[in-house]
Structure 1
Amino acid sequence: MTLSTKARAKKARARKALILLGATAITPVAMPAVAQDVVDLNAIRIQSDAAQDLLGNTEITEEELEDRNPQTMADVFAGETEVTASGGAPIAQKVFVHGVEESLLSVTIDGARQNKAAFHHAGNVLIDPTLLKRVEVSSGLAPADEGPGALAGSIAYETKDARDLLQPGDTFGGRASIGYSSNSNTFHRSLTLYGQQGGFEYLLSGTKATGDDYKDGSGTQMIGTGAGLSNYVAKFAYTSDTGKRLEFSADYTEDAGYRAGQAGGAGNYIRPDFANVRGNVIPVWAVSTRRSFNFTYTDEAPEGIWAPVLQLSYNEQELEGDIVTEGINTSLSGKVQNDFMIGNGILSAGVDFFHDTAEGTGLANTGTASKETLNNIGVFAQMRQDVSDRLSLSYGVRADFQEFSTPDGQTFRDGGVSVNASADFVLTENLSLNIGAASVWGGYELSEASLINTSAGASTFTPWTYSSITASRANNARVGLRYESGNWVADGALFYTQIRNAPYLFSGDRSNSPTITSRGLDASLRYSTGAGYVQANYTYAKVQLDGAQIGTTDYYWGRPMGHIFGLSAAFEVADGLTLGGTAEIALDNNEGASTLPGYEVLNVFASYTPKQYDNVEVRLDVRNVFDQTYTRRSADGMGFGPVTPLTEPGRTIALMVTTKF
């Protein structure tokens, strides 16, 4: 149901297979004609952007990313309300969908499965947003071909290739940028080189950000928030004259620096998600790294019934934080998939697998059994089709089989079936109804790597108990209406997500498996013209843990959201000059034991490309224009007595210059 990168590729391949291509080229190299009947499947309405938006499948487009100029993951989702991200240094940033943490979603980068981080005070997936091309988020209604473990949906990050950046007719190009942010004296610089010769293409990129701890709106310096991000990417691809494409990519991302910490018995424990803990915050050197390798084969000009996709990926996420709270997570994953053109639709079917590990590497784990392993094999099929002029459907099923191995030599095996269905029904010329439901088997989950077989203080060896571990399952539903007229689009939808036997990942007793629910309303209103757009979003999400409002330190589960409003806009007001901005407004949340204060924050930007130097862009950002002192609603520790939550940067003026050559 998600209009994911994979779904877009499927539509493109299906259309290319069924339309008389003639001399049309789908890649920079010429493609041969495909003599078949003209049957255009690109109009499957359930796959349209409008239908997907109403079904809770949010897309952050390349244009929107350029408008937001993201330096952090919070910037990526600025102006959105279904999706929020916490702040601080990259090591601490987490993403939430309707208040449910991303560890309960399927997360991929260029289709490659990502494992989570090693410690609950650290973020789950370390990403540098510099090369992001698109982000697609499914809130709840994950299709069968989106992969295993999509209890509350999925997040698919797609990065740019050489052919996304090359100008028509060029065989070589580059992009360099340098930027400065006033609040934290942060310097951001990046260099990307790319080229193409015949069917071969390559991309090499490096990014570096360094700076001091930032100050919030009151002038208080937040310990451990100074920039220390490095990212290096290499991509290579070959596309044959017949459309067979091989891609290989390698990605290394690191966040390193002194982060907020807390003194303990055996050492110092990192707390980069807090401003202070019991008044004894200290700087602790911490390093978070992600290493990823990805190989993909696709056929971009399929003939007959074969439109295959083969992928094999490996990634590591490692955390080093003094001599304790250290660990490493790995994931080896792959899939074989084919898209079958059947009647008036596309059937995507195949098999996938993953082999994930979590292993503690800190002081308490030395010489002890501290490694867990989780294996999964899945088979899936997802059908997308137009049944009539008014009705379009997407429905699918997948079966997963898992084996979970514990440090004490136990092995648990289980399996389950996941089903989903959604429909787009045209009521009138301007009004459509969308409805969908999914039941997802999540299975087991790896424990938090840094704490496996340790006590709560992470300083002594204490064997964990696994005997009552249970498999998780989620039930999701969504229904909404969409109205389109001229330049205006309005929609609203009710959503519901329930996750039973949610995994408890940092406890010595893995039998604790609560129920998490998120229910509420999404609404949006958008006005678009050729010069730009303005959009208003609203989400109310009531997130509960076993029937009570979820807490702000319920790690790997979720955070309390409440009422959130988002605004985004960008208009080209003159030749080469674009003005725009984003805003987020959160109302007070009084549903729990303590009130979570509301806030209003506004960001604006101006981007200028001189007519005589069209390869240069000068951009000025003013973030937190009114210098508000606030804590983002998705932050950790709000309303929790021993903790001073992390406040966000005060007014920040940033200048960036980018040149293409």
Structure 2
Amino acid sequence: MKTTTAKRVALSWLMCSTATLAYAQDDTAFDLGVLRIQTSAAQAVLGNDEITETEIEQRNPATVADVFAGESAITASGGAPIAQKVYVNGIEESLLSVTIDGARQNKSAFHHTGNVLLDPALLKSVEVSAGLAPADQGPNALAGSIAYTTKDARDLLDGDDPFGGRYTLSYGSNGQGFRNTLTLFGQNDGFDYLLSGTRATGDDYDDGSGSTITGTRADLTDYIAKFAYTSQSGKRLSFSASETTDSGLRASQGGFIRPDFADVIGRDTVLYEALSQRTSYTLTYEDENPSGIWAPYAQLSYNEQAMDVGSLYGVNKSLSGVLSNDFTLRNGSVNVGVDFFDESAEGYDNTVSPRSSSGREELSNIGIFAQARQDLSDRISVSYGGRYDWASFEGADGSDFDASGASVNGSVDYVLNDQWTLNAGAASSWGGYELGEAALVNFRTPWNYDGFTTSRANAVRLGLRYDSGPWAVKGALFDTEIEDINAVLPSSGARGAVDDLTSRGFDGSVTYTGARGFATLNYTYADVQTNDATTATTAYYLGRPVGHIFGFEAGYDVTEEWRIGATAQIALENDDTDVSLDGYEVVNLYAEYKPRRMENLNVRMDVQNLFDATYASRSSDGLGLANVVPLTEPGRTVSLTASISF
């Protein structure tokens, strides 16, 4: 893609703006304390929720779906990792900005598979913005963002320990099988490193009725390596590389895998050795001990996702980067920077050897941004910002498109009294163009781009929170509207067809925190519509009709050595769809033992789907369709996990 004059002007404007900011301030360091607009309580009401390291450890996830156990606003489809997709208030993650350790991720290469293949073995935290993503979260954040952060050596070593390791072994009934993770890490004279590998194998699981769900066996391999150097003054340069592969036998009909369905009526099902593979490389520089106004951050990353889905093969590639500085103000900070990506989606005919390309699309983007976060007074905190993006797109037929657009956002946190706080936020986000589905480029008919255009989202959120003693209560009304979403999965090759998507509703929670435990009840109602009609359960790359969802999570320290806990999800019947979607209730329990005489040992037992319910996740594909047998979730499953550190 050629760099346009407008892009050069934008870069010049950014550098001049940065220089002006630097000139306008001296190098005095200010003690900001904690900005109230950035506290977890304030952000949660605004839809910017963080799943912390402690919460992830309590959920003991084996898949991405497990990471969101007990949540209601964030749901995931089920089955094998190759099929799992994440939804935020019913909107699919492909309409959000998704990053891993800050590196941008591209969308799925095939609609019957998940978007981002991720093993949670080293997951540290997940930050989710529902509708109101800040400007420095990256481009294309139409419905918000999901930011995954993984652990490095410093998260696993105590103090100045030079070397350590951790081995985790789990075994589960009902097809869960064995899961092994070995991680080695160390540090010396500013250098630190981490090497980790995970292997998970199992059998096809049975659902609550005892039916075996073909093609769901675990067959996942994950490798990750991280190397870094931190100077005495806090300058840190890090490099990470990872490869995650799911390559099990998957159910296939008519030459294409459909791991998101249990079966397709009227079509024979055969098993195919499918492949989903994500490979990533990331180089990052940051100043962890900034002085004065300078707190620079720079990152360059490459990400590739490949899918072997039977007769077709698809590859998504993404090269992205960001350069920014977080300028310190007397009452807050402003993050100013530039980011870019250069991506492609390419499909292949997989029935010939060697496989041959059927077509390719390319999309590039460069953006400038500024996001301020400030405490205006003891009662009022604000976050506001904007970005401007320039996008270039080349279609599979060689056609070229160029466009640009602005995005703005703002939110306020207003303290009413000692217990009550009001929150409000709004955002208008330019989404640019969308790459089509890689595996299906020019499939059966050449793609055309008549009417091809850019998308835009408008979102508002109004919330209230109460915090007094052990009780914390929050609730918010939300409305997200996305217009002119290009046909990622085009009918008869018409990439210029567009859809409008809305998600409106309410989400809230009640939390009680005691001296030895906690309990949280979450509730979300999301009315998700496509073109003013309830979204279908096969509205790929758009959303799902989630309706009313309850989530529950609790934990209690019985003694210093023993902890028990539970998660649950309840979905009410949804009769807004053409065929009513059944409700369900699923409960998971765990008990954890950490002996005082062996602090490096942790033993845990999980019982998932305690009551052996037969159900399909509300976020699953094809619910209520006459020609689809929905993918039901595993029945009761008992697993034992042992982890030892050395």
**TM-score, normalised relative to structure 1:** 0.92
CA separation of 1:350 and 1:36: change in aligned 2, threshold 3 A? closer
Partner of 2:64: 73
String of CA shifts for 1:426-456, please: whole Å, max 9, x gaps: 011110000000000000010000000112x
Match of 2:119 among 125, 128, 132: 128
1:179 aligned to 170, 190, 194, which one? 170
Query: Could you say if the C-alpha distance between residues 368 and 611 of structure 1 is closer, same or farther in structure 2, counting changes exceeding 3 Å?
Result: closer
Residue 518 of structure 2: aligned partner: 533
Correspondence for 2:93 among 79, 93, 102: 102
Per-residue Cα deviation, 1:42-72 (whole angstroms, up to 9, x for no partner) = 3211101000000011111100000000011
Partner of 2:287: 299
Q: Is the 8 A contact 2:347 2:357 kept in 1?
A: no
Q: 1:386 aligns with which of 362, 375, 398?
A: 375
Whole-Å separation in 1 of the counterparts to 2:294 and 2:351: 52
1:43 correspondence with 2:20 = no
| SS in structure 2 of the partner of residue 103 of structure 1 | helix
**Is 1:145 aligned to 2:136, yes or no?**
yes
Residue 622 of structure 1, aligned match among 604, 607, 624:
607
Distance of aligned partners of 1:379 and 1:185 in 2 relative to their CA distance in 1, 3 Å threshold? closer
**Counterparts of 1:591 and 1:129 in 2: how far apart (Å)?**
34
In structure 2, give the amino acid aligned to 1:40: D
Q: Which residue of 2 aligns with 1:321?
A: 309
Who is 2:616 aligned against?
631
Counterpart amino acid of 1:138? Answer: S
SS in 2 for 1:361: strand
> How far apart are the structure 2 equivalents of 1:38 and 1:196?
30
Secondary structure of 1:574's aligned partner? coil
1:199: how far off? 0.2
Greater mean alpha carbon deviation, residues 567-576 or residues 469-478:
567-576
Is the Cα contact below 8 Å between 1:327 and 1:362 reproduced in 2?
Answer: no
Which of 452, 459, 472 matches 1:469? Answer: 452
Matched, 1:254 2:245: yes
What CA deviation, in whole Å up to 9, does each residue of 1:257-289 have, x standing for no partner? 1111102xxxx1100000001142221210100
Pair 36,414 (structure 1): closer, same or farther in 2 beyond 3 Å: closer
Contact 2:348 2:357 in 1 (8 A): no
Instruction: Return 176-185 or 351-360, whichever deviates more.
Output: 176-185
The residue aligned with 2:583 is: 598
Secondary structure of 1:164's match? Answer: helix
Q: Is the 8 A contact 1:181 1:654 kept in 2?
A: yes
Structure 1 residue 225 and structure 2 residue 216: aligned?
Answer: yes
Unmatched 5+ stretches in structure 2: 1-25
Equivalent in the alignment of 1:311 = 299
Which amino acid in 1 is paired with 2:334? Answer: L
* Alignment match of 2:364 (pick from 348, 360, 375): 375
Structure 1's 364 and 406: CA in aligned 2 closer, same or farther, altered over 3 A?
A: farther
In the alignment, which residue of structure 1 is the partner of 2:409?
420
AA partner of residue 476 (structure 2): A
Distance 2:637 2:316 in 1: 35
CA contact (8 A) 2:242 2:279 kept: yes
| Residue 17 (structure 2) aligns with | none
Q: Which residue in 2 is equivalent to 1:16?
A: none
State how far apart, in whole Å, the 2-side matches of 1:530 and 1:137 are: 28
Q: Does 1:274 align with 2:261?
A: yes
1:353 aligns with 2:344: no
Alignment correspondent of 1:12: none
| Equivalent in the alignment of 1:82 | 73
Q: Which amino acid aligns with 1:652?
A: T
C-alpha distance in 2, partners of 1:225/1:367?
29
CA contact (8 A) 2:32 2:330 kept: no
Q: Cα distance, 1:480 vs. partner?
A: 0.6
Equivalent positions of 1:330-349 (< 5 A) are: 330-349=317-336
Q: Give the root-mean-square deviation of aligned CA atoms.
A: 1.3
Contact 1:452–1:506, Cα closer than 8 Å, also in 2? no
Alignment of 1:575 onto 2:560: yes
Amino acid at match of 2:65: A
1:514 pairs with one of 487, 499, 522? 499
> In structure 2, what is the equivalent of residue 644 of structure 1?
629
Aligned with 2:247: secondary structure? strand
Contact kept? 1:474, 1:500, Cα under 8 Å: yes
Letter in 2 for 1:526: T
Helix, strand or coil: the match of 2:128? strand
Q: Matched residues in 1 for 2:27 and 2:305: separation? A: 47
SS of residue paired to 2:412? strand
**Alpha-carbon separation, structure 1, partners of 2:260 and 2:133:** 29
Per-residue deviation, 1:491? 0.7
Tell me what 2:23 maps to: none
CA positional deviation for 1:304: 2.1
- Once residues 355 and 579 of structure 1 are traced to their aligned partners in structure 2, the CA distance between those partners, rounded to angstroms, is 47
**Paired AA for residue 580 in structure 1:** G
Q: Give the whole-Å Cα distance in 2 for the aligned partners of 1:529 and 1:202.
A: 38
| Contact residue 359 and residue 442 of structure 2 kept, 8 A | yes
**Residue segments in structure 1 that go unaligned for 5+ positions in a row:** 1-34, 456-461
Within the candidate set 262, 287, 290, 2:278 is matched to 290
Contact 1:369-1:408 within 8 A present in 2 as well: no
Q: Distance in 1 between matches of 2:139 and 2:430?
A: 8
How many Å apart are 1:117 and its aligned residue?
1.6
Q: Distance in 2 between matches of 1:579 and 1:362?
A: 51
8 Å CA contact retained: 1:132, 1:160? yes
Conserved? CA contact 1:287–1:320, under 8 Å: yes
SS at match of 1:568: strand
Distance (whole Å) between structure 2 residues aligned to residue 576 and residue 325 of structure 1: 52
Q: Contact 2:487 / 2:497 at 8 angstroms: preserved in 1?
A: yes
Counterpart CA distance in 2 for 1:246 and 1:185 is 39
